[in-house]
Amino acid sequence: MQEILDEIAQTMAAEIDRGKVADYIPELSIIDANQFAMSVALPDGRVYSAGCAEQLFSIQSISKVFSLTLALGKLGDAVWANVGREPSGDPFNSIVQLEHEQGKPRNPFINAGAIAVVDAIMMGHEPKECLAEMLQFVRYIANDENIHIDDKVALSELSCGHRNASLAHFMASFGRLHHPVDKILGVYFHQCSIAMNCQQLAKSGLFLVSEGVNQSAGYRVVSAQRARRINSLMLMCGHYDGSGEFAYRVGLPGKSGVGGGILAIAPGKASIAVWSPGLDTIGNSKLGTLALEMLVQRTGWSIF
């Protein structure tokens, strides 16, 4: 495994077309595009890494997997009252679909859907309490108390969050949100600003590898069925309007973030985190996808 990762990291270092760093969030636009890291966590606790796997980065939309998991734990299937389970066929921040479907987002991994999930989690609590709970949950599934929120990134997002505010107010106009829009967005922007390194991120996905159990930590996080269902949602909707392409090329459930990270799950085999800040035109890490494609070709881990 270490050999495979080293080879991938070497190949990636030589890539010239590295995509474009997200430029609409000021704090993210200043990241150096030449960085690359990859970690593979096995159920037994071993973690293999290559590249700068201890370098923190903003997990952004990958956090949507964790907030969905938390929401399902707190509310069960009631989560699905205000968010769907279908691929959207639209960019991550599209509002067209919302108008056609009465303010109900297509899935929990596009922005509108993730905002609805935050609203579901809040349950009347203040943003601060809600964030504390969320952070505690992420530390729990990653079995790592050293995970924090990068406040500078959160503030940076707030300053340019008109599109997300538009999505939230739109849903609110259909009565789909139950807390003040500014409070929901406050939580949402902070959730997206959780900082992790590849090793932490890989470990945080272990419960999805082993039917809901983080084996190395020794506890169950969700039921086997729920783990499978979260995996299915990651495969169908985890890469916005590039989900089909990711399934075609990589063949693993995965969730990307505009910070350049991707979390991918090989059920029964491993949890994989990869990070390279340059994005393709759809907003998914360019080298991250390529690296996962290589890894799957070497390991035969495709679920298909």
Is 64 an annotated catalytic residue?
yes
Contact segment (CB under 8 A) with a second copy among 1-9, 28-36, 38-46, 94-102 equals 94-102
Q: Which is nearer to a second copy, 55 or 223 (CB)?
A: 223
Q: How far is the CB of 18 from a second copy (least distance, A)?
A: 23
Is 3 labelled a binding residue?
Answer: no
Q: Does 87 bind a second copy (CB under 8 A)?
A: yes
Q: What's the min distance (Å) between Cβ of 135 and a second copy?
A: 27
Q: Is 219 annotated as contributing to ligand binding?
A: no
Name which of residues 215 to 234 contact a second copy (CB under 8 A). 227-229, 231-233
DSSP letters of 11-71? HHHH-S---EE--SSHHHHTS-TT--EEEEE-TTS-EEEEESTT--EE-GGGHHHHHHHHH
CA-CA distance, 64 to 236, in Å (whole number)? 14
Number of residues near a second copy (by CB under 8 A): 49
Quote the least distance from Cβ 78 to a second copy, whole Å.
16
- Contact positions with a second copy (CB under 8 A) in 116-135: none
Q: Is 294 in the site for a second copy (CB under 8 A)?
A: no
**CB 243, min distance to a second copy, A:** 7
DSSP states of the chain as a string?
-HHHHHHHHHHHHH-S---EE--SSHHHHTS-TT--EEEEE-TTS-EEEEESTT--EE-GGGHHHHHHHHHHHHHGGGGGGS---S--SS-TT--HHHHHTTT--S-TTSHHHHHHHHHHHHTT--HHHHHHHHHHHHHHHHT-S--EE-HHHHHHHHTT-HHHHHHHHHHHHTT---S-HHHHHHHHHHHHTEEE-HHHHHHHTHHHHTTTEETTTTEE-S-HHHHHHHHHHHHHHTTGGGHHHHHHHT-S-EEE-TTSEEEEEETTTEEEEEE--EE-TTSSBHHHHHHHHHHHHHH-----
Q: Is 248 in the site for a second copy (CB under 8 A)?
A: yes
Active-site annotation holder among 40, 64, 255, 274 = 64
Q: Which stretch binds a second copy (CB under 8 A): 11-19, 49-57, 242-250, 271-279?
A: 242-250
188 annotated ligand binder: yes
User: Is 61 in the active site?
Assistant: yes
Site track for a second copy across 7-46, x = CB under 8 A: ----------------------------------------
Chain residues binding a second copy by CB under 8 A are 84-90, 94-100, 106-107, 162-163, 165-170, 172-173, 181, 227-229, 231-233, 235-237, 241-245, 247-248, 251, 253, 267, 302-304
Sequence ranges of the binding site for substrate: 61, 111, 157, 164, 188, 240, 258
Sequence ranges of the binding site: 61, 111, 157, 164, 188, 240, 258
Give the residue numbers marked as catalytic.
61, 64, 188, 240, 258
